Each structure stands twice: as C-alpha cells, then as structure tokens.
Amino acid sequence: CHNSILTGPIETTMCDYETIESVNDELFGNLSELVEKPFFRYFQVDLYRECPFWPDDGSCNNPGCAITSVDEGEYFDLRLVPERYTGYSGKDAQRVWKSIYEENCFGLSELNLMTGKSPAPVSLPDTMIEVLHEDEQESAAQCLEKRVYYKVISGLHASISTHICHEYLNQTTGEWHPNLNCFISRVASHPERLQYIYFDTILLLRAVSRLGPYLSAFDYCSTGTHEDDKETLQTLTKVLDIAKDAGAFDESILFRGENANILKEEFKTHFRNVTRIMDCVGCDKCRLWGKIQTTGLATAMKILFELDETALDPRANSDLLQRSEVVALVNTLFRFSESLKAVDTFRKLWQEMDAAE
C-alpha cells in the first residue's frame, strides 16, 4: 500500500499527481452537487440489448445486481444505483475483461507493457513492418497512442475495482465497509493501475475543459425547476474552472505520424467494440455503470481526438452531442474523482493499521 503514494509528473500529460490531489476535494464536492441535479441524475439507455459476441451473458442472479428503471422504462436514477460490490464475479465477469484486453487492446497487456516485450505490431501494413528493425517493431507496437488506449481501459478497470473495494459487502454481517485488503490486492499492489486512474481523470478533465463553451451553452432546462437549472449552470462553471487548470492532457502529440488515420480508425473500432461488450456484462447494475463510463470515455476521446475548435463551437454546432453523452461524460468524471477520494480513505486506513501494529 506504500505504492499508493504517488508523486511527480504523470506520463503523457503535462500534469503531476500533486496537482490532481490538490484539486480533487473541490472537484469531488462540486461534482457531487452537480450529479444530484435532475439533468445529470437521470440517464437514458437501452440496458437490455443482446450480447453480440457470445450466446449467454451469464446473468447474475445476485440481488445486488438488480436495478429498476424510472417512468418510461429506459431512464435510470443514478443516485439510486451506487457503483459498489454486487457479487458479479467468476468466469462470466472474467470473460468480459479478458475479451476487452485480449481482443480489443492492440494485444497490449500489463506484462508486455512492463517488460517492454510486445506482441506483433497490429496497426502497420505488413510491407512497413518488414522494413522495420526488430527493436523498431517493438516500439511501433507500443506507440504512444496504443499505450494511451491501454491506460484508458486499465484505469477504468482500476476505478471500478476501487469502487467495489470501497463499498464492499461483508457477507457475514451484512455491513458495507471499505475493504483494505481488496484494494491492496486489486489496485495498490499494481501501482501502474493506480497511476492510470489519475491518467483517466486528467484525460476527462481536459475533455470537459475543451467542451467548456459548449457545456455552458447547453440547454439544461426542461428537467428541473428554474432554480435547479440556474444552480446546475453555476456548479458546472466551478467544475469547468477546475478542469481548465488541472486538465493538462496534450492531445496534440497523438495521431501525428504517417499512419495516424489508420491508427485512429483502429483505436475507434477497438473502443466501439468495448462499448458493445458492455451488453455482455451479466449484472444489470454493473452493465449500467459500464455503459455510462464507456460512453463517457468515448465522448471524451471524441472531443480530444476528433473535434477541432470550430466543431466544438456551440453556435456552429449546437447538436454536437446528445444529452446522454453529456450526462455520461460528467458522471464518468465523477466516478474517477470518487475513486481518488476512496484512495485517500485507503491510505488513511493503511496508516492506522500501520500505527496499530
């Protein structure tokens, strides 16, 4: 758990751990208020699509997996569905993660990222691979964009694990509590997983910051009272101010090489597959949060890698995003900010345990 104290610059960003630490309390406070507002609280999604990749989704019958929708059947009140331990596990849950890493992560894994050994490059045309020296092939396979992609996925997985461990159900007493051992084994003992939670937070902050003018002009009416709408905009403005300062992700260094367009298409195809794999998650509650967060991350990456300032101008492009994308983006940022708060709790628990020994 000593590994959970992180300092210094965060790779492929212009930010450091200390900066994120210093803004997270305020960010978390504002986001907590924002996601209570009717506009951000209700998420519309078709939760019961068939899994397109295998016949059975291994439905979880655990009561912790069940959720109910509101009114029209496709809206979910997110405040009634905390992301926490549900009991969804075993081969069905592992099959989903395995498919995400093995088939949709450019062949990258924790092992080959750490050892520097990589699988055969997958994005370059064969003719190009042949002319590359073996070392160059390796670095080509682990190019910046692919590493970013892997961090996004692994960071999401680590954030989900952090939520599970933070609100863990003691099956014997029926009580919910933070489970330090769970956090150590799933996250803290793999420091890079924790680093990627910070990385994803910065990426999301940068996307929110770039979307600032669009978000400020968005129509938040029709979901709450006039007072609600006013407060929504005020709180959002505070979040945007934090995002402007801390969202130091430099998207301009990505997708610049010769094969940029091919790579970008692959990047999109892989991530689209990941969003579709969410239909194979057998636990309703996990599937809902899986869909929200993959939509939130996909929206962030669309904003960073696809859209220029003209496209992001609300006057030129008022229909740029759907409401569900905006709701998902903000709630996903909230999930990550909440994970960082939970990490703080785990650090304190560790210190208490250390002091008691």
297-306 b/e with 16+ CB inside 10 Å = b? bbbbbbbbbe
Candidates 59, 68, 94, 269: give the one binding ligand FAD (CB under 6 A).
Answer: 94
Q: Note whether 40 and 327 are within 8 A (CB).
A: yes
Could you tell me the smallest distance in angstroms from the CB atom of residue 142 to ligand FAD? 15
3-class SS at 141? helix
Q: Note whether 149 and 271 are within 8 A (CB).
A: yes
Q: Which two tokens stand for residue 174?
A: 């029926």
Query: 83 or 229, CB closer to ligand FAD?
Result: 83
Candidates 93, 124, 326, 330: give the one binding ligand FAD (CB under 6 A).
Answer: 93
Bridge partners of residue 43, in order along the sequence = 76
- Contact status: 339 vs ligand FAD (CB under 6 A): no
Residues in contact with ligand FAD, counted by CB under 6 A, come to a total of 23
Q: Note whether 10 and 203 are within 8 A (CB).
A: no
Candidates 281, 292, 298, 343: give the one binding ligand FAD (CB under 6 A).
Answer: 281
Q: Which two tokens stand for residue 115?
A: 């050892």
Residues 117/123/125/126 CA torsion (nearest 10 deg): 30
Query: 30 or 179, CB closer to ligand FAD?
Result: 179
Active-site residue 15, yes or no? no
Site string for ligand FAD, 127-166 (x = CB under 6 A): ---------------------------x--xx-xx--x--
Catalytic residue among 51, 65, 165, 283: 283
Site string for ligand FAD, 172-191 (x = CB under 6 A): --------------x-----
Active-site residue 221, yes or no? no
Q: How far apart are CA 333 and CA 243, in angstroms?
A: 10
- Nearest-10 crossing angle of helices 90-104, 144-166: 160
- Contact status: 88 vs ligand FAD (CB under 6 A): yes
Q: Which two tokens stand for residue 112?
A: 């080959």
Question: Site residues (CB under 6 A) for ligand FAD?
Answer: 83, 85-86, 88-89, 93-94, 96-97, 110, 154, 157-158, 160-161, 164, 186, 193, 281, 285-286, 289-290
